[in-house]
Amino acid sequence: MAKRPKSVGIIFKHDFQPAKKECKRLRDWFTQRGITVYTEEMASRAHVTQCLEEDTSIPDTVDLVVVLGGDGTLLGAARKVGRYGLPILGVNLGGLGFLTEIPLEMLYKDMEKVITGQVTVEPRLMLQASVFRNAEEKCRFSVLNDVVINKGALARIIDLRVSIDGHFLTTFRADGLIISTPTGSTSYNLSAGGPILYPDLEALILTPICPFTLTQRPIIVPDTSVIEVQMGKHNEEVILTFDGQVGFDLMAHDKVIISKSEKKLKLIKSPDQDYYDILRTKLKWGEPAYNRTDE
């Protein structure tokens, strides 16, 4: 950040008392320094039936947004204010925290560095996904991590016909399909056997979930790719999820079009650790069993 902020937004975790408490404390900290503060509590997860752009009480004129919670809270904040192009600082109040890099005990020390411009802002690729039914757009969302097509708990294996830039790739017969950004590569993609990508790589990952054919493996494509996924004829109980937080029911023959968003999220980096530090810490790569040198 190049200049001292005049106003900030604070978005905090839904129905989480420690986040509410820290929001009040941080608001007072900013106010004492002459910085105007806007606050918003993150809404709970939702299931939608039509195209919705999520509302926010944070104005697009603020200089900075602070997120208090975990990665889920930051993903929700990205859908709300990512389109504004505002720098976002994630503060971890509990969970794994790949995106909310700042631990609570370092918040005010690091915040001094933030407001004096001693931090790095890293652009992160976002996805835009649209659902078309009978050539009519029914739903559109921008996401930071991933777009996932998944069968319901009692549904049979589903058929997903995938084309990239108009060229047919394959028909995945699987429990589902993950289309992930590099930022989202350490999320559901990783659990499904997909690769980890460095966050600033310009690429997308397609990872099938429990494919019927074991030769159908994850594939990495350029971020300029336009990915089209068409539902099969007899698919039932198929759900499209955006960052694992917003759901939309898909029907037979629906088309899902995924491409990179015109906007990139601006994520403020921790001044005390780099991405490899985060991987070692969060994925336990620093445990003794992984550092043996006597074999």
Tens digit of each residue's pLDDT (9 = 90 or more) over 178-207: 999 999 999 999 999 999 999 999 999 999
The pLDDT, as a whole number, for residue 198 is: 95
The domain ranges of the chain are 7-124+264-290, 127-260
The pLDDT, as a whole number, for residue 156 is: 81
Mean pLDDT, residues 45-67: 81
Look up the CATH number of domain 127-260: 2.60.200.30
- Is pTM beyond 0.85? Reply is yes
Mean pLDDT, residues 143-167: 92
Return d(Cα 127, Cα 229) in angstroms, integer.
Answer: 15
Question: Cα separations (Å) of 242 from 2, 42, 205?
Answer: 32, 16, 15
The pLDDT, as a whole number, for residue 4 is: 86
Fold of the 7-124+264-290 domain = Rossmann fold (3.40.50)
pLDDT band at 154 (very low <50, low <70, confident <90, very high): confident
Which residues have a Cβ under 8 Å from the Cβ of 232 and sit 6 or more positions away? Answer: 158, 159, 160, 161, 171, 252
Whether 7-124+264-290 and 127-260 share one fold: the answer is no
Determine which one of 15, 63, 71, 249 is catalytic.
Answer: 71
Does residue 71 have an active-site annotation?
yes
The pLDDT, as a whole number, for residue 240 is: 95
